[in-house]
Amino acid sequence: MNLFKAELRRLARRRLSMVFGIIAAAGLLVLAGVFWFTSSKGPTAAELADAQAEADRMNEENYEYDECVEDEAYFDTEEYGYLEDEPYYADMTHEELCADWFGVWTAEDLIYTYTFDFAEESPLILIGAAVITGLIMMMLGSSAIGAEWSSGGLANLLLWHPNRMKVWGAKLGAASAVCAGAVIAVLLLAFGLLYVTAAARGEVGTLNAAWWDENLPKLARAGLLSVAMTVLGASLAMLGRHTAISGGIIAGYLIVGDMLVRFAGMAMQMPFSERLSLYTWVTAWIDGKIELQDWSDMYSEYPDVMVITSSEAGLLLGGIVLAFAALATWAFQRRDVS
């Protein structure tokens, strides 16, 4: 029996996998639906005409503006003398200057329309979808390992395949492969839904080579992060021999642990205390780099700057995942299964 293929089938056929898949697909459909119903290509001619009529009515009541326009020397007083030295006002006509000071309503001021711009907004959504998929796969991977410990299925499997490293490798490989496939599927579905929404109800924008060069590496790094999260979840479940232990550790850090670490850094007045947070390193990994600023020196005009690159973040995050994977491997190899 091919252990890797067997693990793939087992993960794919789990009820939890189906539930998570349905939730992910439904979530993307709801997200696309929100953009579909909130976005538009702009106001209609009738809406613009109504808004302009309202703007004209409001402008008729703007007596200060009318007084300013009628008096060419309105700004030739000591009160407004400094305007001559301001570059912002240099090329304005008298009427434009009056409008800037006393305000003139336009139709655009009275109409709010949101237009979904695929090129501008989709990268962040796609990265978020990849990371959320990683969280889901982390739960699925830890659940699969925990369920085998609880049911005794792992002990039974080792009777037929006593090579523990081969069994553990097959489980990690299968979980990673399923995660990679899930991330790709989610990204393709999200990309398609958002693109159709933008084409029908918004703007697609410019998807040129520069756009792909900027965003493809970010999406690839987000996908690798999701796979690493899956390996981490499975390793924690293998160490604790229970799904709840893995979930508790992860949830505890995400909800409480990171906040406590931040507070400790600030309490100790540590420079660049944000570096103690894993969220900072995750951001640096996905975005390519992150700049931290320290203003603790009150006599300095400029802050101290610390730059964390994706390479440095990758080494740290990868080291954490590999450390837990190594501990899980050692524990599985040494500890009694029964």
pLDDT band at 77 (very low <50, low <70, confident <90, very high): confident
Checking if the pLDDT of 44 tops 80, the result is: no
Mean pLDDT in residue range 206-234: 93
Where do the domains of the chain lie? 3-40+117-269+317-334, 48-110
Determine the pLDDT at residue 166: 87
Q: What pLDDT was estimated at residue 335?
A: 67
pLDDT at 262 over 80: no
Specify which of 17-26, 113-122, 180-189, 273-282 reaches the highest per-range mean pLDDT.
Answer: 180-189
Q: How far apart are CA 186 and CA 195, in angstroms?
A: 14
Pair of tokens at residue 337: 């299964």
What is the average pLDDT score of the chain?
Answer: 83
pLDDT band at 102 (very low <50, low <70, confident <90, very high): confident
Phi/psi-derived region of residue 94, left when phi > 0, alpha when psi is between -120 and 50, beta in every other case: alpha
Q: What is the pLDDT of residue 6?
A: 84
pTM as predicted? 0.79
CB contact at 8 A, 277 and 308: no
Is the pLDDT at 144 greater than 90? The verdict is no
3-state SS assignment for residue 302 = coil
Q: For residues 57 and 214, give the distance between their C-alpha atoms in angstroms, rounded to a whole number.
A: 47
CA-wise closest residue to 192 among 7, 4, 46, 28: 28
d(CA 190, CA 132): 12
CA angle 32, 35, 40 (to 5 degrees): 135
Question: Sorting pLDDT into bands at 50, 70 and 90, what band is 190?
Answer: very high
User: Closest Cα to residue 116, out of 191, 197, 44?
Assistant: 197
What pLDDT, on a 0 to 100 scale, did the predictor assign at position 336? 65
> For the residues 160-166, what does the mean pLDDT come to?
81
Looking at per-residue confidence, does 101 or 166 come out higher?
A: 166
Residue 55: the pLDDT is 78
pLDDT digits (tens, 9 = 90+) for 145-156: 887 777 777 777
